């Protein structure tokens, strides 16, 4: 029963200082109430905890509150003034909870000075709490506290201590497997935030999910217009899903323009929830409606329409708070969120807590948003929407710790991870561009990992600075989108010639030119392959899901650092902004990246003296790399053709031919794991995909295979060089399809490389394929 | 910033000379600049392995190949950007940037401007020959109006840039000018540039004897210098001429050349390179538009300002000091998590 290892658990005081649990025990035992701030169960016990702990404050006992799974700010907003009176710790990663083997929270625990446990009472079980309190009183010769008191709540069970928000499935809710919801409104309506909050609550409820945020290109398109519509689609499910879904079942339309632009996406007979206050003349006109669609006999016939005066109701609940009507108007998205949260039985605590955290210091805003959220929730309960309520059970995901992550965040973390794994500090040189800027915003916050970020004067300087830092021994990275890659191409050629490691991240967006800056596309593959002057081959990798951006970034770094080459990493606007639950990897399972530097001479000159030749190579043809600062190995590198080995300038024709071949061979030397076929193993049709089409292809193939179609799927992370077994897999197929968000760039490469009749399936509209679209194509291909 | 040599062994010019054959045209001014620097380096007490020369493209940009240090011959115009990344990553290094007037003021103008503005710790040497040498004789952004070149057969129409005005307008903290005919003066300017913390900018008037021969003869020839070069010495009245009969006077924000006898010694401007406000230095940079009128030489401006890499590093170190270094586990748990 005794676990002394808890002495070594690191915990954090609410003021921020970190300490070992053992150090906080001092000469007294410790009595703790451990809480989970995401649950109502823990909040109900605060007064009781206060009373019991305060009772022991005069005794030879240290008393403390422990808040699990939260940071200090979150704990502070959960506890209110309590930390002023009672020592409070944050057990952010729930390590203490784990070491104590606590199963549910809240719980009351007493640990002796040596780390052994006197007892733990879990949940709110008054009898167990009283026994433990009595034992403690006896041990310390102190009086017994009153447990329970008349004010204490009745006994109840706790919530899982390891962090799942218990999703209480209401009795009046109908269980469904999955649902697709689309939030749409004016870009000033806060739809992205609403969708994001809904997603988060769903993640905490244990659902699998996938999201698709869609932004307008203009930051402030005229309010109420079609151009200003911003939408967020999310699919939540009780099983494994791979896409944000085809057609939404529910559309939340905050204004006529949102209804006009997105209604066609909805399934037949789907539910439309509208903010009816916005359906007045001016807005209708701006959206292009000649008459109010909320009236009978409109395009809304055949849909279930729920008209809610959201603006009015929000203003009403805010009035008593002293919030001005104009300010109250800004909280109406929380009303919508509250209503939809009720309809889908989402836990409310995470949202309430988030509001408090996010708007900390702005009390009126907190009050207004909370009031609107609660009013929306109550509206669902009291209005006659009873038959609308559904619940989605938690998905049976593999067990472990999860976080909800977007592609841009995962990519940033992957770069940081690569920096740890290679022991090379990370340098990001970049110039802001949608949809890549969030990588800069994320990395700039990670100075604790030694990350250096540099916002350059343009894309050329961005890649130049990254190359300069790489030359100095950093993991040099530059992030951009298509227009930026175009500007970087000359420096990429230089990096190919210098044979220095460098990562260029291209978060692809709609082109050409400014194109569709906020929409997704995957049309830069040929640019990545061939978009440089001269023969300048380089390895290319691409990510297939938001969380896959993490692993792909590490892979890009591995190739760059060990092969001394620039690498292009392709993601796209869809991966960048959409999110999915991610089972966190065990850091110790991530492979180290071994980078060796030259410190000795590697040649002897005619006089018998040692010299350093920068273009001597290892078995992978990676050149010897001596960092500036290394004594005696001074050397010069440059973009002029050089002699292999010595690196001396050479204009010799044969040498150039040799070097051109060699640079190509260097790319071929990159080890690429063999592909594994998903779906049918004895496929007639092989679908070859790359990038963010993974989810839609997987969804489509799942459906087709279920109906007996023999379809296999391979997805390429490595686009250059291609996996060794791709040719063999293609040769086994009767038919080959390559779906891409471009006009057939990979299919051209495959046709050229393997001489197979790879058919291209294209969609270049700024939105991803849906699984249904691809499913249809698969069936037609095999039936036809 | 100087990397003081820890190893006491003395180096000589030979130690700073690489084994590469120098490939400038015979008689090119670049040779004398190279020699001046190779002779100076042993005196600076720095280590070869801690010294890096970064260049773009052009005749001038061949420079790194000839220095027995670390070096990178990069692409046209981008050297200041590449050097910026290197200097940020490796504050322990002594980073020099060398380039021509086309390299730094035309294709790379943006990078030059921003490197100076940020005050990155690099020493920038601009070899101004007022011509595109490597591409065989087109006009450059510093070529004078009316100049006949391969690409302006009837004479150039656009006004040139003044490199020092550009540097001063870019918030540069160290700005100097020298010329390829005076080794001692070049060395003094390079030494000062090297000493300066932050970005230093030195314009070196350089003769391209093939495509723009004699461009600076009117001011740099030995017998012309007394009357045509105005030496700027900090704390001294700005006087020139064989008898110091000429001087520079400041009046209403402008500077002009005067006869000392006519205005009196007390009216002559005393040079103050540390002046915070750059407008006086700017006015001095405008004193001569073309190299056939009296031209100031020396340090125009040398002021202290926080160096970029130091400030950036201080931010990182500050966060690490307050919050500790983070490991991968902490990173992965930095967003809300839940257990399944
Ligand atoms: C992207 C690019 N554009 C053009 C060139 C051709 N080019 C090489 S050097 C040069 C101008 C050189 O002039 P300057 O910088 O004054 O150097 P100098 O040769 O006079 O020392 C040009 C235009 C190039 N190498 N790269
Ligand atoms: S072309 Fe002019 S600048 Fe270039 S090496 Fe010859 S003389 Fe020197
Ligand atoms: Mg020139």
The pLDDT, as a whole number, for residue B116 is 98
Left (φ > 0), alpha (ψ -120 to 50) or beta: where does A679 sit? Answer: left
pLDDT for the residue numbered A98: 81
Condensed to tens digits (0 to 9), the pLDDT of residues A37-80 reads 877 788 889 999 999 999 999 899 999 999 987 778 878 888 98
Q: Which residues of B touch A69 (CB under 8 A)?
A: 336-337
Closest C-alpha to ligand 1, atom 22:
B135
Does residue B85 fall inside a structural domain? yes
**DSSP codes joined into one string, A620-658:** T-PBP---TT-TT---EEESS-B-TBT--B---HHHHHH
Residue B77 Cα to ligand 1 midpoint, Å, equals: 8
Per-residue model confidence (pLDDT) at position A163: 57
Q: How deeply is A23 buried, as exposed, middle or buried, from its count of CB atoms within 10 A (0-12, 13-18, 19+)?
A: exposed
Tell me the count of A-B CB pairs closer than 8 A: 220
pLDDT of residue A384: 66
Asked whether residue B327 is domain-assigned, the answer is: no
Contact B87 A468 (CB under 8 A): yes
Instruction: State which of B55, B112, B133, B160 you would mutate to test the pocket of ligand 1, scoring each by most atoms of that ligand within 8 A of its C-beta.
Output: B133
Q: What is the pLDDT of residues A741-766, one digit of tens each?
A: 999 999 999 999 999 999 999 999 99
Instruction: Say which DSSP state A114 is in.
Output: T
Nearest CA to ligand 2 atom 2: B208
**pLDDT, tens digit, 9 for 90 and up, residues A372-429:** 999 999 998 887 676 778 888 888 888 888 999 999 999 999 999 999 999 999 999 9
Share of chain A above pLDDT 70, in %: 98
Is residue B227 assigned to a domain? no
Compute, in angstroms, the gap from residue B165 CA to the centroid of ligand 1: 22
Residue B282 is assigned to a structural domain of this protein: no
Query: Residue B131 in contact with residue B208, Cβ under 8 Å?
Result: yes
Q: Which candidate, B148, B240, B222, places its Cα nearest to that of B179?
A: B222
CB contact under 8 A, B340 and A397: yes
Local confidence band at A215 (pLDDT 50, 70, 90 cut-offs):
confident
The residue among A348, A349, A367 whose CA lies nearest residue A359 is A367
Residues of A whose CB is below 8 A from B65: 636, 638, 649
- Ligand 2 atom at shortest distance from the alpha carbon of B62: 5
User: How much is the mean pLDDT over chain A?
Assistant: 92
CA A769, distance to chain mean position in Å, is 20
Please tell me which residue of chain A has the smallest CA distance to B22: A649
- Smallest CA–CA distance from B84 into chain A, residue: A465
Do the beta carbons of residue A105 and residue A73 sit within 8 Å?
no
Model confidence band, residue A345 (pLDDT cutoffs 50, 70, 90)? confident
Cβ within 8 Å of A, B 193-222: none
In this structure, which long-range contacts are made by residues A298-305, counting pairs with CB atoms below 8 Å and at least 24 apart in sequence? A299/A263, A300/A263, A300/A272, A302/A268, A302/A269, A303/A263, A303/A266, A303/A269, A303/A270, A303/A271, A303/A272, A304/A269, A304/A270, A304/A271, A304/A272, A305/A271, A305/A272, A305/A274
Q: A403 vs B78: CB contact, 8 Å cut-off?
A: no
Instruction: Name chain A contacts of B88, Cβ cutoff 8 Å.
Output: 427, 452, 454, 465, 468-469
Percentage, residues of chain B above pLDDT 90: 93
Nearest ligand 2 atom, CA B209: 7
Count, in order, helices (H) and strands (E) of chain B: 12, 12
B35 inside domain: yes
Q: Is the model's pLDDT at A166 over the cut of 50?
A: no
Is residue B126 within 8 A of residue B100, CB to CB? The reply is yes
| Nearest chain B CA: its distance from A316 CA (Å) | 33
- Give chain B positions within 8 Å (CB) of A474: 89
- What residue has token string 């590198």? A637
The chain A residue lying nearest B88, using CA atoms, is A469
The pLDDT of residue A4 is above 70: no
Report the residue of chain A nearest B83, measured CA to CA.
Answer: A468
Q: B190 CA to middle of ligand 3, Å?
A: 19
Domains A403-589 and A678-783 share a fold: yes
Chain A: residue whose CA lies nearest to B62 = A638
Query: Could you tell me which of A459, A469, A417, A457 has the C-alpha nearest to residue A436?
Result: A459
pLDDT score of B129 more than 90: yes
Pairing outcome for strands B70-73 and A636-638: parallel
* Among A186, A190, A187, A183, residue whose Cα is nearest residue A332: A190
Contact A649 B65 (CB under 8 A): yes
Contact A628 B93 (CB under 8 A): yes
Q: Angle at Cα A353 formed by Cα A350 and Cα A355, nearest 5°?
A: 110
Residue B137 forms part of a structural domain: yes
Mean pLDDT score of chain B, rounded to an integer?
A: 95
What angle do helix axes A363-382 and A349-358 make, rounded to 10 degrees? Answer: 160
Top residue of A465, A587, A590 to mutate, by most chain B CBs within 10 Å, is A465
pLDDT tens for residues B177-189?
A: 999 999 999 999 9
Sequence-separated (6 or more) residues with CB below 8 Å from residue A344? A179, A181, A198, A202, A236, A389, A390, A391, A392
Q: Give per-residue burial for A304-335: e unless 16+ CB within 10 Å, then b.
A: ebbebbbbebbbebbeeeebeeeebbbbbbbb
d(CA A70, CA A163): 10
pLDDT over threshold 80, residue A225: yes
Q: Which two tokens stand for residue A493?
A: 């050629």
Residues 6+ apart with CB under 8 A from B60: B30, B98, B99, B100, B103, B127, B129, B133, B206
- A473-516 pLDDT tens trace: 999 999 999 999 999 999 999 999 999 999 999 999 999 999 99
Fold that domain A403-589 belongs to in CATH: Rossmann fold (3.40.50)
Q: How far apart are the first and last CA of chain B?
A: 55
pLDDT tens column, A116-157 = 899 999 999 999 999 999 999 999 899 999 999 988 988 887
In a domain, B106, yes or no: yes
B339 burial (CB, 10 Å; 0-12 / 13-18 / 19+) is: middle
CATH topology for the A678-783 domain: Rossmann fold (3.40.50)
Q: Are B336 and A200 a contacting pair at CB < 8 A? A: yes
pLDDT, tens digit (0-9, with 9 covering 90-100), for B247-305:
999 988 889 999 999 999 999 999 999 999 999 999 999 999 899 999 999 999 999 99
B46 touches chain A (CB under 8 A): no
Query: Residues 222..241 of B with a Cβ closer than 8 Å to A: which?
Result: none
Residue B40: name the closest of B72, B69, B80 by CA.
B69
Residue B47 confidence (pLDDT): 96
Sign, CA dihedral A580-A581-A584-A585, equals negative
CA of A358: how far to CAs of A365, A369, A598, in Å? 10, 11, 49
From chain A, the residues in CB contact with B49 under 8 A are 628-634
Q: How far is CA A332 from the centre of its chain?
A: 26
Rg of the Cα atoms in chain A: 30
**Residues B14-32: b if buried by 16+ CB within 10 A, e if exposed:** eebbbeeeeebeeebbbbb
Could you tell me the distance, in angstroms and rounded to a whole number, from the CA of residue B24 to the centre of ligand 2?
A: 6
Class of domain A174-391: alpha beta
Q: Find tokens 């109908």 and name the residue.
A: A174
Read off the pLDDT band of A3 (50, 70, 90): very low
Query: Among the atoms of ligand 2, which is closest to the Cα of residue B30?
Result: 8
Q: What is the spatial distance between Cα A695 and Cα A520, in angstroms, rounded to a whole number?
A: 15
Residue B195 resides in a domain: yes
- Flag whether pLDDT at A434 surpasses 50: yes
State the total domains in chain B.
1
Burial category of A374 from C-beta neighbours within 10 Å (exposed 0-12, middle 13-18, buried 19 and up): middle
Residue B63 Cα to ligand 1 midpoint, Å, equals: 14
pLDDT higher than threshold 80 for residue B3:
no
B102, B109, B139: residue to mutate for ligand 1 pocket, most atoms within 8 A of CB: B102
CA B134–ligand 3 middle distance (angstroms): 8
Residues 6+ apart with CB under 8 A from A362: none
Q: How far is the CA of A534 from the centre of ligand 3 (A)?
A: 26
Are the C-beta atoms of residues B228 and B294 closer than 8 Å to each other? yes
Nearest-angstrom CA–CA distance, A581 and A584: 9
Helices (H), A564-640: 573-577
Phi-psi region of A94 (alpha: psi -120 to 50; beta: other; left: phi over 0): left
A214 pLDDT exceeds 70? yes
Rounded mean pLDDT, A579-604: 95
CB–CB contact A460 B81 (8 Å): yes
Q: Of A783, A738, A732, A779, which is closest to residue A758 (Cα–Cα)?
A: A738
CB neighbours of A588 closer than 8 A, spacing ≥ 6? none
Q: CA angle at residue B259 from B256 to B265, to 5 degrees?
A: 95
Partners of residue B86 in chain A, C-beta under 8 Å: 468-469, 471-472, 628
Domain that holds residue B204: 8-215+306-315
A311-337 pLDDT, tens digit each: 999 999 998 888 888 888 999 999 999
Whichever domain contains B162, its CATH number is 3.40.50.970
pLDDT score for B8: 42
Q: Is B209 in the pocket of ligand 2 (CB under 6 A)?
A: yes
Nearest to A549 by CA among A427, A426, A436, A413: A413
Chain A residue with CA closest to B339: the answer is A401
List alpha helices for chain B, DSSP H: 29-44, 79-89, 101-102, 109-118, 163-169, 183-195, 217-220, 222-228, 260-263, 279-285, 308-323, 328-332
Count Cβ atoms within 10 A of the Cβ of residue A741 and give its class: 0-12 exposed, 13-18 middle, 19 or more buried. Answer: buried
Compute the distance between CA of residue A412 and CA of residue A439 in angstroms, rounded to an integer: 6
Query: Rounded to the nearest 10 degrees, what angle do helices A349-358 and A72-79 cross at?
Result: 110
Identify which of B132, B136, B211, B213 to mutate to test ligand 2's pocket (most ligand atoms within 8 A of the CB).
B211
Contacts of B61 in chain A (CB under 8 A): none
Cβ(A480)–Cβ(A430) under 8 Å?
yes
Block residue for tokens 């990562």: A503
Q: Are A447 and B81 within 8 A, CB to CB?
A: no
Which span out of A13-17, A224-228, A565-569, B250-254 was modeled with the highest average pLDDT?
A565-569
Largest CA distance in chain A: 97
pLDDT at B26: 96
Return the CATH number of the domain spanning residue range A3-160.
3.40.30.10
Q: Is B83 on the interface with A (CB under 8 A)?
A: yes
Nearest-by-Cβ selection for B70 from A465, A493, A634: A634
Report the pLDDT value the prediction gives residue B6, as an integer from 0 to 100: 41
Q: Which residues of A639-663 are buried (b: 16+ CB within 10 A; e: fewer)?
A: beebbbebbbbbeeeeeeeebeeeb
Tell me, in angstroms, the distance from the centre of ligand 2 to residue B136's CA: 8
Under the banding of pLDDT at 50, 70 and 90, the label for residue A168 is: low
Domain boundaries, chain A: 3-160, 174-391, 403-589, 596-671, 678-783
What is the mean pLDDT of the segment spanning B28-38? Answer: 98
What does the pLDDT read at residue B1? 33
pLDDT for the residue numbered A489 = 98
User: Is the minimum distance from the CB of B131 to ligand 2 under 6 angstroms?
Assistant: no
Pocket of ligand 1 (CB under 6 A): B 57-60, 76, 99-103, 127, 129, 131-135, 140
- Rounded distance between C-alpha atoms, residue B84 and residue A469, angstroms: 8
pLDDT one-digit tens code per residue, A19-48: 888 888 878 889 999 998 877 788 889 999
């Amino acid at each position: 029963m005794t676990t002394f290892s808890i002495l070594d658990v690191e915990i954090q005081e609410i003021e921020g200082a970190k300490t070992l649990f053992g150090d906080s025990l001092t000469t007294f035992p410790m009595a703790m109430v451990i809480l989970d701030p995401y649950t109502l169960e823990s909040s109900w016990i605060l007064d009781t905890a206060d009373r019991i702990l305060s009772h022991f404050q005069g005794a030879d006992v240290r008393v403390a509150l422990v808040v699990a799974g939260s940071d200090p700010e979150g704990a502070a907003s959960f506890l209110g003034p309590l930390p002023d009176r009672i020592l409070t710790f944050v057990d952010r990663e729930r390590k203490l909870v784990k070491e104590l083997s606590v199963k549910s929270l809240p719980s009351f625990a007493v640990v002796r000075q040596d780390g052994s446990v006197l007892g733990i009472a879990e949940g709110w079980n008054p009898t167990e709490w009283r026994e433990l309190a009595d034992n403690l009183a006896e041990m310390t010769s102190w009086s017994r506290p009153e447990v329970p008191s008349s004010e204490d709540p009745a006994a109840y069970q706790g919530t899982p201590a390891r962090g799942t928000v218990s999703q209480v499935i209401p009795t009046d809710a109908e269980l469904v497997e999955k649902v697709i919801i689309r939030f749409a409104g004016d870009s000033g309506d806060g739809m992205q935030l609403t969708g994001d909050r809904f997603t988060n609550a769903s993640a905490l409820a244990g659902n699998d999910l996938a999201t698709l945020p869609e932004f307008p290109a203009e930051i402030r398109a005229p309010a109420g217009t079609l151009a200003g519509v911003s939408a967020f689609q999310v699919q939540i499910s009780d099983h494994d899903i791979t896409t944000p879904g085809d057609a939404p079942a529910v559309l939340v339309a905050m204004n006529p323009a949102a209804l006009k632009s997105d209604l066609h996406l909805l399934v037949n007979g789907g539910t439309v929830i509208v903010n009816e206050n916005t359906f007045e003349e001016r807005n209708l006109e701006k959206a292009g409606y000649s008459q109010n669609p909320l009236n009978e006999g409109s395009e809304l016939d055949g849909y279930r329409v729920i008209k809610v005066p959201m603006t009015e109701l929000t203003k009403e609940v805010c009035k008593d708070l002293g919030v001005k009507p104009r300010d109250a108007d800004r909280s109406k998205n929380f009303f919508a969120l509250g209503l939809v949260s009720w309809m889908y039985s989402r836990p409310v605590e995470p949202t309430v807590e988030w509001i408090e955290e996010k708007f900390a210091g702005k009390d009126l805003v907190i009050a207004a948003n909370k009031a609107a959220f609660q009013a929306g929730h109550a509206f669902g309960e009291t209005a006659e929407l009873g038959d609308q309520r559904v619940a989605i059970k938690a998905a049976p995901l593999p067990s472990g710790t999860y976080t909800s992550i977007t592609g841009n965040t995962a990519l940033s973390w992957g770069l940081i991870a690569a920096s740890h794994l290679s022991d090379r500090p990370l340098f990001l040189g970049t110039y802001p561009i949608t949809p890549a800027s969030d990588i800069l915003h994320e990395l700039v916050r990670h100075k604790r990992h030694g990350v250096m970020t540099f916002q350059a004067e343009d894309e050329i300087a961005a890649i130049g600075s990254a190359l300069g830092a790489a030359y100095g021994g950093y993991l040099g990275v530059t992030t951009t989108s298509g227009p930026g890659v175009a500007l970087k191409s000359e420096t990429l050629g230089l990096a190919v010639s210098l044979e220095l490691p460098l990562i260029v991240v291209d978060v692809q967006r709609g082109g050409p030119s400014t194109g569709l800056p906020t929409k997704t596309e995957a049309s830069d593959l040929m640019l990545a392959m061939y978009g440089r002057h001269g023969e300048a081959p380089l390895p290319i990798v691409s990510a297939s899901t938001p969380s896959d951006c993490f692993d792909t970034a590490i892979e890009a770094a591995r190739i760059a650092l060990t092969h001394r080459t620039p690498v292009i990493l392709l993601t796209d606007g869809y991966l960048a902004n959409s999110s999915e639950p991610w089972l966190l990897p065990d850091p110790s399972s991530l492979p180290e990246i071994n980078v060796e530097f030259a410190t000795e001479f590697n040649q002897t000159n005619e006089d018998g003296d040692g010299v350093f030749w920068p273009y001597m190579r290892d078995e992978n043809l990676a050149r010897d790399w001596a960092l500036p600062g290394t004594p005696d190995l001074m050397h010069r590198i440059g973009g002029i053709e050089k002699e292999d080995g010595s690196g001396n300038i050479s204009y010799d024709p044969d040498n150039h031919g040799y070097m051109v071949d060699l640079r190509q061979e260097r790319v071929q030397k990159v080890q690429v794991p063999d592909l594994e076929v998903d779906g049918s193993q004895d496929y007639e049709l092989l679908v070859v995909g790359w990038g963010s089409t993974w989810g839609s292809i997987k969804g489509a193939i799942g459906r087709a295979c279920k109906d007996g179609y023999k379809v296999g799927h391979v997805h390429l992370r490595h686009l250059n060089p291609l996996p060794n077994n791709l040719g063999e897999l293609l040769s086994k197929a009767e038919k080959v399809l390559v779906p891409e968000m471009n006009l057939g760039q990979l299919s051209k490469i495959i046709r050229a490389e393997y001489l197979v009749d790879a058919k291209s399936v294209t969609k270049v509209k700024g939105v991803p394929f849906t699984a249904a679209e691809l499913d249809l194509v698969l069936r037609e291909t095999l039936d036809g | 910033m100087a990397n003081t040599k820890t190893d006491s062994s003395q180096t000589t010019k030979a130690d700073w000379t690489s084994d590469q054959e120098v490939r400038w045209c015979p008689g090119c001014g670049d040779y004398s600049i190279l020699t001046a620097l190779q002779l100076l380096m042993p005196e600076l007490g720095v280590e070869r392995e801690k010294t890096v020369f970064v260049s773009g493209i052009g005749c001038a940009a061949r420079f790194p190949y000839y220095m027995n240090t670390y070096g990178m011959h990069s692409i046209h115009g981008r050297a200041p950007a590449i050097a910026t990344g290197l200097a940020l990553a490796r504050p322990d290094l002594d980073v020099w940037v060398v380039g021509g007037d086309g390299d730094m003021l035309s294709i790379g103008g943006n990078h030059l401007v921003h490197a100076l503005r940020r005050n990155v710790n690099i020493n920038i040497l601009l070899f101004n020959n007022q011509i595109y040498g490597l591409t065989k004789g087109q006009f450059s952004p510093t070529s004078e109006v009316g100049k006949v070149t391969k690409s302006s057969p009837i004479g150039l129409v656009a006004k040139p840039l003044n490199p020092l005005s550009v540097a001063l307008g870019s918030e540069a903290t160290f700005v100097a000018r020298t010329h390829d005919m005076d080794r001692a003066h070049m060395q003094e300017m390079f030494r000062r540039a090297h000493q300066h913390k932050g970005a230093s900018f030195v314009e070196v008037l350089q003769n391209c004897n093939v495509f723009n021969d004699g461009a600076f003869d009117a001011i740099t020839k030995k017998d012309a210098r007394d009357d045509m070069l105005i030496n700027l010495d900090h704390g001294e009245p700005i006087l020139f001429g064989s008898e110091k009969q000429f001087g520079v006077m400041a009046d209403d924000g402008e500077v002009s050349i005067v006869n000392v006898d006519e205005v009196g010694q007390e009216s002559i401007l005393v040079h103050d390179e540390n002046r915070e406000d750059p407008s006086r230095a700017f006015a001095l940079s405008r004193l001569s538009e073309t190299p056939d009128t009296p031209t100031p030489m020396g340090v125009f401006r040398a002021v202290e300002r926080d160096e970029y890499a130091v400030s950036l590093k201080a931010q990182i170190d500050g966060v690490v000091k307050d919050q500790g270094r983070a490991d991968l586990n902490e990173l992965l748990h930095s967003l809300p998590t839940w257990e399944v």
